[in-house]
Structure 1
Amino acid sequence: MKNIKFIMLFLAFLLFIANQAFSQKTFERGYIIDESGIKKDCLIKNIYKTDNPTIIEYKLIGSTEVKTGSVAEIAEFGITDTLKYVRSIVKIDKNEDGLNDKLQAGLHLVKDTLFLNQLIEGKANLYRYSLGSLNRFFFNIESDTIKQLIYKRYLENGKEKKNLTYIQQLIAKVNCKSFRYDRFQNIKYNTNSLLNFFEDYNKCESEEYINFHSKLKRRKLIKMYARAGINVSQNELKRAQVRYFDKGTGVGLKLGYEIEVVIPITKKDIFSVFGEVSYYQFKIKMEDDTPLPPRTNPIVRTYSNYTFIHKTLEGAVGLRAYLLLNQNNAFFIDTSLAGNGEIQSEIVIGNSSTRYNFDYSRIFGVGYKHKKFLFQSKYYYKEIPRIEQNGDDNQNVSGFVFTVAYHFF
């Protein structure tokens, strides 16, 4: 099957695109601020990981030399508009949280110089330090000293207790006059809850702020989707030597997997390329009870009742464009070209069958994106050259596919 070769080439192309995207993420445009306070534009090696770094690798603009910088040499660094780390001397409790016989209520604050990941920048600033399962949050107001938000679980007489000092710290230092007391009681010691609180505080104080965490999430360049849908197809068989054709409609299931790679030519995710591998099938029963039109050749073979069966593995590659409504919602359109590796594609007439081989498919789609879900309708058209007897008959399949896709990575 020649189209199987297309699918293999398509998969190789898709892997190449993904590799190029990851390679682009290996070194990204950013900056460093050295000990002297001098800011230098550079390319920084990928630091999108959970643990806070102690050393970074970077290349100055125009240079191929990879340099390293430690917490002793760099005061601040970041990926442009996406990520920011600041060096700070802080007191931190590095004892891991957990419940065991050795866990005590007391804190073990030690002074250390760390790169802190800045999550919120504004009048009130929020930072995070992560190392393995250890997560500690820090804060300050404007240029005040950065301090750890204190939270700890411990055992007392065999029962779990919690040190919730961080709530008192926030009441004392990060308190807008419109906040009610229950606003503080609902703050959890995790990234999302603290982000929401610090955003609310800066809004309440009418201060401009930057949420680096949301910017980082929005700029993930590679997205993977699982797809499932309903395929509504119409088969059209054009009879040889006569101006006459048969039509039939069938419904089937389509399952697939998609990789989407954002084209980072704008600050927002507007354009992308994508590839999809999917399996789908349908069965069309065609009943032809209409007599042939006048003045047709009487020796032309006609079909009365027959079934068109189609099962295929399809590989598609295409372009997509988004119309962004807000952070969670967008409309989009896309177009793609697909090759097919037929598993079964034939017309069954009584006890005999005639095999067909699909040509490339042309596909056009429109859809709506909401958070992690895509809802899409696609129209496709396929020419089917006859590869067995009666090669002067032509056939094509067109139809709509209605799919739901879930963004899982």
Structure 2
Amino acid sequence: MKKILAITLLLLTSASIHSQIHFESGYIIRKNNEKVSCLIKNLDWRNNPKEIEYKLGDNPEIKKENTTTVKEFGLTGHKVKFISATVKLDRSSEKLNSLGRDRAPQFSTENLFLRVLLEGDANLYLFEDENAYKFFYTHNNSEVEPLIFKSFLNTNLEIDTNDQYKQQLWMDLKCEGISMKDVNVLKYEKNSLISFFEKYNKCKNPAAAEATSFKEEIVRPNPFHMSIRLGLSNSILKTESIATQYGYPNIDFGSKISIRIGAEFEYVLPLYRNKWSIIAEPSYQSYKSDATTADGNHTVDYKSFDIPVGVRYYLFLNDDSKMFFNGVFSYNIDLGSKLNYTIFRRPLEADVKPDYNFAIGVGYKFKDRYSFELRYALNRDLTNEDRVWENKFNSTSFILGYKLF
């Protein structure tokens, strides 16, 4: 069963990688100002891209271009727009354990794609990758300039900051409605800077149309969901003794199929386009079996109320389909289970106190309503306080789900 689960995980993961590719309606403006309507591969771009992939109409050929040939690109159906620019970029680390003592930024000249955050009389841009999170701006048709911010260690080895960006904005974006207080309270953060630039653009040109904001507008549906979950579990119990030399045998109770029933509660996090969620799935499961050794018959009647809590990640395949991957920690409440051994031809009842365990799963959801999941629960010791036996219980489950809301 473990091999079947592993093969299924591999096949579904491979399929998801290919299915995740979305080409969406967009455009490219080349350096010669030629505008090309096309389908652009949407990778969400948490980090600014170094190149883009696109297709022309129904032509299956995938083309690539980068900052050397592209002046601007965007997605038509989203507030997503990038420009290419040659800028001065400071890549000094902001990690606490890597701060230097130099207050001044260490610039290098780089040709980059910058994400457009706001357009108006003054424009705001962002560059983000694994090592940098920097803002840039233009005003009065100026060249793209960095908004300077840097953390460093002062002479007392305390963390200090170079907030030169506030002086830049105070000097360059002057308007009657902008006060020194507006600048002083600024934070080197996206929402804070966007609000300031919006205020400046409105102050500078009140009669003009509202400045174009490229903040992604995510329609946030109800993040709470509840589903009914019904499935079959193939469970295995093996008892391993550390005292076989004294007549306490290893016992294999074998595999048994049982029904599991439960309810799933899900909270979708407002991150990465609703791809992450927290789940809890209280459920009931049971396992009943017996085994025979030279000493006699051994029986188990295990019943538990499980409370798995964990995280889920979605891979969107298309508008109707998505895959998901779960990782959960499961707390188990025993419901009067019985585990009886026969040792030296005398009955012996074990004290059932199940330990917690972990589980992983992969599943598929259709029309955000119907789902199935294949889940493997790692070993759980049913008698975790027993010093003689370790009762290893694991299960592989096939679970069907129906979302109520």
Q: Which interval holds the TM-score relative to the shorter structure?
A: 0.5 to 0.7
CA deviation map 1:136-185 (0-9, x unaligned): 422234x6224424425598994787553422333355467555543321
SS at match of 2:275: strand
Q: Which amino acid aligns with 2:183?
A: F
Structure 1 pair 127/343, CA: closer, same or farther in 2 (3 Å)?
closer
On the 8 A contact 2:55/2:62 being kept in 1, the answer is: yes
Task: Return the alpha-carbon distance in structure 1 between the equivalents of residues 155 and 362 of structure 2.
Answer: 60
Structure-2 residue corresponding to 1:210: 213
Task: Return the alpha-carbon distance in structure 2 between the equivalents of residues 163 and 339 of structure 1.
Answer: 51
SS at match of 1:30: strand
Structure-2 residue corresponding to 1:185: 184
Task: Return the alpha-carbon distance in structure 2 between the equivalents of residues 51 and 148 of structure 1.
Answer: 17
Indicate whether 1:223 and 2:259 are aligned: no
Greater shift, 111-120 or 155-164, is seen at 155-164
Task: Return the alpha-carbon distance in structure 1 between the equivalents of residues 153 and 396 of structure 2.
Answer: 72
On the 8 A contact 1:337/1:361 being kept in 2, the answer is: yes
Shift of 1:254: 1.8
On the 8 A contact 1:259/1:275 being kept in 2, the answer is: yes
Q: Which amino acid aligns with 2:324?
A: F
Q: Which amino acid aligns with 1:283?
A: D
Structure-2 residue corresponding to 1:84: 81
Structure 1 pair 360/128, CA: closer, same or farther in 2 (3 Å)?
closer
Structure-2 residue corresponding to 1:393: none
Q: Which amino acid aligns with 1:140?
A: T
Matching residue within 59, 65, 69 for 1:69: 65
SS at match of 2:365: strand
Which structure ranks higher in relative contact order (CA pairs < 8 Å, sequence separation ≥ 6)? Answer: 1
Shift of 1:15: 1.0
Task: Return the alpha-carbon distance in structure 1 between the equivalents of residues 154 and 328 of structure 2.
Answer: 58
Task: Return the alpha-carbon distance in structure 1 between the equivalents of residues 198 and 109 of structure 2.
Answer: 28
Structure-1 residue corresponding to 2:372: 336
Matching residue within 37, 44, 62 for 1:41: 37
Structure 1 pair 191/154, CA: closer, same or farther in 2 (3 Å)?
closer
Indicate whether 1:140 and 2:138 are aligned: yes
Shift of 1:127: 1.0
On the 8 A contact 2:9/2:362 being kept in 1, the answer is: no
Matching residue within 21, 28, 31 for 1:32: 28
Task: Return the alpha-carbon distance in structure 2 between the equivalents of residues 256 and 38 of structure 1.
Answer: 49
Count of aligned pairs: 308
Structure-1 residue corresponding to 2:401: 363
SS at match of 1:285: coil
SS at match of 1:233: strand
Q: Which amino acid aligns with 1:86?
A: I
Q: Which amino acid aligns with 2:314?
A: E
Shift of 1:51: 5.3
Structure 2 residues not aligned, in runs of 5+: 219-268, 289-301, 339-351, 383-392
On the 8 A contact 1:126/1:137 being kept in 2, the answer is: yes
Structure-2 residue corresponding to 1:299: none
On the 8 A contact 1:14/1:275 being kept in 2, the answer is: no
SS at match of 1:69: strand
Structure 1 pair 39/11, CA: closer, same or farther in 2 (3 Å)?
same
Shift of 1:113: 5.7
How does the TM-score come out when normalised to structure 1?
Answer: 0.54
Shift of 1:67: 4.1
Task: Return the alpha-carbon distance in structure 2 between the equivalents of residues 314 and 197 of structure 1.
Answer: 45
Q: Kindly report which structure 2 residues correspond to 1:160-171, keeping only aligned pairs within 5 A, or say none.
A: 163-171=162-170
Q: Which amino acid aligns with 1:223?
A: K
How does the TM-score come out when normalised to structure 2?
Answer: 0.54
Shift of 1:316: 5.9
Structure 1 residues not aligned, in runs of 5+: 238-247, 288-306, 323-332, 347-354, 368-409
Shift of 1:40: 1.0
CA deviation map 1:44-89 (0-9, x unaligned): 4658363563x54544334444544343432212344253221345
Q: Which amino acid aligns with 2:275?
A: K
SS at match of 1:207: coil
Q: Which amino acid aligns with 1:207?
A: E
Matching residue within 252, 270, 284 for 1:233: 284
On the 8 A contact 1:52/1:129 being kept in 2, the answer is: no
CA deviation map 1:116-144 (0-9, x unaligned): 32222345421124576454422234x62
CA deviation map 1:281-333 (0-9, x unaligned): 4532389xxxxxxxxxxxxxxxxxxx9x99996746242667xxxxxxxxxx6
Q: Which amino acid aligns with 1:170?
A: L
Q: CA RMSD in A?
A: 5.4
Shift of 1:33: 0.8
Structure 1 pair 176/100, CA: closer, same or farther in 2 (3 Å)?
same
Indicate whether 1:274 and 2:270 are aligned: no
Structure-2 residue corresponding to 1:260: 314
Task: Return the alpha-carbon distance in structure 1 between the equivalents of residues 106 and 6 of structure 2.
Answer: 58
Structure 1 pair 198/338, CA: closer, same or farther in 2 (3 Å)?
same
CA deviation map 1:24-48 (0-9, x unaligned): 05x6653211233221123446583
Structure-2 residue corresponding to 1:284: 335
